[in-house]
Amino acid sequence: MARRQWTGVGTALVTPFRQDGSLDEAAITALAKRQVDAGVHFVSPCGTTGEAPTLSADEKVRIVELVVEAVAGRVPVLAGAGGYNTREVVELAHRMEKAGAQGILSVTPYYNKPTPEGMLEHFKAVSGATALPVVLYNVPGRTGVNVDVATLVKIAAACPTIVAVKEASGNMPQMVEICAHVPDGFIVLSGDDALTLPLLSVGGHGIISVASNEVPADMARMVEAAEQGDWAAARRLHTRLLPLMNINFIEANPGPAKAAMAAMGLLGEYYRLPMVPPRAASRERILAVLRNLTLVA
């Protein structure tokens, strides 16, 4: 049976840079191929974990072009196109569609804290700008505004091309309510690795994952086990991976994940300000988790 698009494990792909601050195009290509080879179900470049606020629009489009070419149709590409300026988001969504993405991940407007009515009008504009399916990204810890259940239900009803939500509120009761009240067929994804299994147990459909940058095959196996009703196997994998899920957020994401991936030899450890490398004490804890998982020697 074919997998439904935007279910399972999607990787919130990190963005590798070179020492001079430019995009590391070879590493972007290699990381995208590694994800698909390991069995993830879709990839999502240019989101929070991809350091999107530090990328120009041209760089975002280039990254998506590289990822689309790298995955070669084996899995769909969910391109990040969000922000607080609706006109710019609409234009970027147009460009991502032309770049070959199969869907748009659009974070809620941040900083200016729109009302529920403003949120609805924003997403009506975004969804109306592209023929692609749109995944709404709710992450109030970063944006300063939460999409509550009633507002999300209104957005889903008013915007048929908004087909899913990435729920990163960390509020499990809210996530349960979302699963209970969204329209039939609407996809609910976790935005927090550690909440993936709880969400799946109440009707969720998967995860847009940070940890799958490091352990894509394990994350895919965990979610597939749950989908198949093998909750014991899923719990074993969850328990094993939980220290990694947690250590990835010991400092601001994606700092720890990029440090871990650099230790694993997957990329050069370069950031763009205001992101900086993890502190020495954090780095030791990251390396200890990686050693326990035998990801580094």
Question: CATH number for the domain including 72?
Answer: 3.20.20.70
- 285 lies in a domain? no
pLDDT in tens, 146-164: 999 999 999 999 999 999 9
Q: What is the pLDDT of residue 297?
A: 93
Structural domain contains residue 34: yes
How far is the first Cα of the chain from the last one, in angstroms, to the nearest whole number? 39
Residue 155 lies in a domain: yes
Count of C-beta atoms within a 10 Å radius of residue 132: 21
Condensed to tens digits (0 to 9), the pLDDT of residues 189-234 reads 999 999 999 999 999 999 999 999 999 999 999 999 999 999 999 9
Whether 255 is in a domain gets the answer: no
Query: Tell me, what's the pLDDT at 2?
Result: 81
pLDDT tens, 40-70? 999 999 999 999 999 999 999 999 999 999 9
Answer yes or no: is 73 within a domain: yes
Mean pLDDT, the chain, as a whole number?
97
pTM: 0.97
What are the CA-CA distances from residue 146 to residues 130, 139, 171 (Å)?
A: 24, 7, 10
- C-alpha dihedral sign at 216, 218, 8, 5: positive
Q: Could you give the residue numbers annotated as active site? A: 137, 166
The answer to whether position 114 is within a domain reads yes
How far is it, in rounded angstroms, from Cα 114 to Cα 146? 10
Count of residues making up the chain: 297
The pLDDT of 25-46, averaged and rounded, is: 98
Range of the domain at 79: 8-236
Percent of the chain predicted with pLDDT > 70 = 100
- Count Cβ atoms within 10 A of the Cβ of residue 69 and give its class: 0-12 exposed, 13-18 middle, 19 or more buried: middle
Looking at residue 42, what is its pLDDT?
A: 98
Residue 290 lies in a domain: no
Let me know if residue 296 belongs to a domain.
no
Residues 220, 39 contacting (CB under 8 angstroms): yes
- Three-state SS for the chain is CCCCCCCEEEEECCCCECCCCCECHHHHHHHHHHHHHHCCCEEECCCCCCCHHHCCHHHHHHHHHHHHHHHCCCCCEEEECCCCCHHHHHHHHHHHHHCCCCEEEEECCCCCCCCHHHHHHHHHHHHHCCCCCEEEEECHHHHCCCCCHHHHHHHHHHCCCEEEEEECCCCHHHHHHHHHHCCCCCEEEECCHHHHHHHHHCCCCEEEECHHHCCHHHHHHHHHHHHCCCHHHHHHHHHHHHHHHHHCCCCCCCHHHHHHHHHCCCCCCCCCCCCCCCCHHHHHHHHHHHHHCCCCC
Q: How many domains does the chain have?
A: 1
- Give me the pLDDT at residue 1, please: 67
281 pLDDT tier (thresholds 50, 70, 90): very high
